[in-house]
Chains A and B, each alone.
Chain A
Amino acid sequence: MTDFLQNLISGIAVGCIYALAALGFVLIYKSSRVINFANGQLIAIGAFTAYALAVWMGLPVLLAALLALLLTALLGFVVERVFLRRLVGQPIISVIMVTIGLASVLDGLMYLTPFGSGNFTFPPFLPPGGLNLGGLNISYPQLLAIGFTVVFLLMFGWFFQRSVLGIAMRAVADDQMASMSLGVSVEKVFALAWAIAGLTAAAAGIVVGMVSGLNQDSLIAIGLAVFPAVILGGLDSVPGAVVGGIIIGVLQSFSTAYLDPLLTQVGLVGGGSQYAMPFVVLLIMLWFKPHGLFGTEEIERV
């Protein structure tokens, strides 16, 4: 039972990191119906910005992290202003292609920095080890991930349900033309969505950096590895991103703990079922709920 609970907690902690990374996808999709393929690059930039501020400029890690969140949010804002602003009202595929191009450009630019290849770690600022609750163990960076996720979930929940800007973002996502005719600034909404996506991406990057170190390739990979979580939860649902992330995290933990040993016994050596299981479950899930667990089901009258 202890093993089961431990695996569950570890899965939830990893799931929260996925959720943070997934939030960036959801926020942009929610406001503009665009899937941002540069999400992984924003994650990496956020993490490396925090590292640069902490190590090169000697700032305390928490202050560096806070500044990195703001700077990455600013980057998201600038990206929207420079690259995407002109595409308002254009076919979605054009915008998606721009995000793919953007991912490539940001990749290339990062390789020109000292972070291009190599492993880096934040200066230690959390106590070593982790929290032990009746034999169940969780590391401090993982606790931080859970904390970040809860804060962001509450913040965005309130933002989209209660604030005028949040409601405007939902309206824009629903119908850009109708929103514009009602005086909603679609451009501002898009810019805000990208800025917030930058913020969550940086949060995810910083947490990943604290958990497993900073490596450009791994950070970018996390950005795309959360696709199953996003789609499972529903592309336009903030709670869905969190639930989807946690389901995928727990699924991976359980498949490593219980499925891999069975696979070994039947001669399928190598384990690694954690990499396949999210996609297997996603396929099954989408069979029954094509819009994901919490995604908006669009009904068109003919």
Chain B
Amino acid sequence: MKRAMVLGIFLVLGLVLAQGRTVTLLWSGAITGPTSDVGGPYAAGIEDYCRYANEQRLIPGVTLNCIVRDDQYQNPNTQRILEEALDRSRPAIYLGYSTGAMLQLKPLINEVRLPTIPASAHIGLIDPPNHQYFFLPVSSYSEQVVALMEYINRTERNARIALVVNPSPFGRAVVDHARRAAQRLGQTIVDVREVGGGNLDNTALLRALDAAGVQYIIHQNVAGPVANILKDAKRLGLDRKIKQMGAVYTGGSDLLRLAGDAAEGYLWASSYYTLDENTPGINLQKQLAARYNRSADILNSTNYTAGMLAAAIAVEAMRRAAQRFNGRIDNETVYQSIIGMNGPNAFRPGFAVSTKAGIEIDFTRSEQTGAEGLRVLEVRGGKFVPITEPFTSALFRQVRNP
């Protein structure tokens, strides 16, 4: 009997060892609730990349435990989910979401030294204090808006610009930097307006901006409100007078679908490749969407790409941590791997455009933005088409720390 028990114990231990270790990666974000049109595909991107990583054994001997939770864009939910995960599963890395929740959680994340890759690209997350463990996958909202202002300056001097932003920390993130950039570029920020979802009519807004001599509207929002403004501008004939453009979450397939013809000519700053381009990341995206039966809407969403990029960075950091620290994958070793992801060790998954130096994703202890390159794309014939080469905003670094 004793012999059988000992044999049994050895058998169980053997099975456990054969299966390898489990390491946790946590994401919480808005799968439902406000901005879930962004969060839904983003979550799908993370889930699919995790499944792929486990199937392909991207981290040898390690099974990823990907926890994907819906916080409904509610900060208390986000906090509870993170605290619960810290207590129960001790994640090695955290993929966050909303600006508000991330700003709120900065001190906690710093205290527990948890490497964090948020979906929010609010520059305040990588600004002091408590910023050490935050890493933005792509350039910040502010940098993208400043890049658009630089793009305007190429053809139009002393432009008069209005910012139309989401009524949230996410939307307001860009205002101060845009003002500082405008001063240096000789542009005028004529007005800053907050517009949320469900904006049923934008006639008053557009006419007021037109009366104030606005030539360009820069949006920092999600696609829905922007599409409504584009449709109203077209109806009022203001699409020929006012050029509209936006950062990060304003563009993509959602905008094309919602705005239809009215999207023609809309400019979008984006670090991501489009689905038409032949890159390893985009090809993987197509392959995984097919393998896991994702809908066409998910496949076409740039937020699906964004989720995959965030997960890819996390998985790569874990893989490098295991390789460099004798299989030790925890928040400390993952942090060391992320800040070492530069120079010849930069990461090239093929989801985001590369800078002139050929670098796609790189981080250091002090440079916490991954993809610093971006392109301006324009809607032509119902598609986003790149109209610039990848570039990095020159002015942003000056206005960030004046």
Contact = CB atoms under 8 A, between A and B. Distances in A.
Interface of A: 3, 6-7, 10-11, 13-14, 17, 107, 111, 114, 116-121, 124, 128-130, 137, 139, 142, 208, 211-213, 215-219, 221-222, 225, 253-254, 256-258, 260-261, 264, 269-272, 275
14 contacts: A7-B207, A10-B204, A107-B32, A116-B32, A121-B257, A121-B258, A137-B203, A139-B231, A211-B201, A212-B198, A215-B198, A216-B36, A270-B193, A271-B192
Contacts of B197: 215, 217-218, 221
A163 to B, nearest CB: 32
A119 B258 contact: yes
Contact of A217 (B36, B236, B295): B36
A207 B102 CA distance: 36
A139 B37 CA distance: 26
A235 B62 CA distance: 61
Interface centre among B197, B211, B257 (most CB of A within 10 A): B197
A218 B231 CA distance: 17
A217 B227 CA distance: 16
A130 B208 contact: no
Nearest to A2: B207
B204 A256 contact: yes
Contacts of A11: 201, 204
Interface in B179-237: 191-201, 203-205, 207-208, 211-212, 223-224, 227-228, 231-232, 234-236
Contact of B208 (A137, A142, A256): A256
Contact of B204 (A137, A215, A257): A257
A248 to B, nearest CB: 11
A128 B227 CA distance: 15
B332 interface: no
A17 B212 CA distance: 29
Contacts of B198: 208, 212, 215, 218-219, 221-222, 225
A275 to B, nearest CB: 7
B203 A116 contact: no
Given A117-B36, A213-B224, 19 more contacts: A3-B211, A114-B295, A116-B36, A118-B254, A119-B223, A119-B258, A121-B260, A124-B260, A129-B234, A137-B236, A139-B231, A211-B201, A213-B258, A215-B224, A218-B197, A261-B191, A261-B208, A269-B191, A270-B172
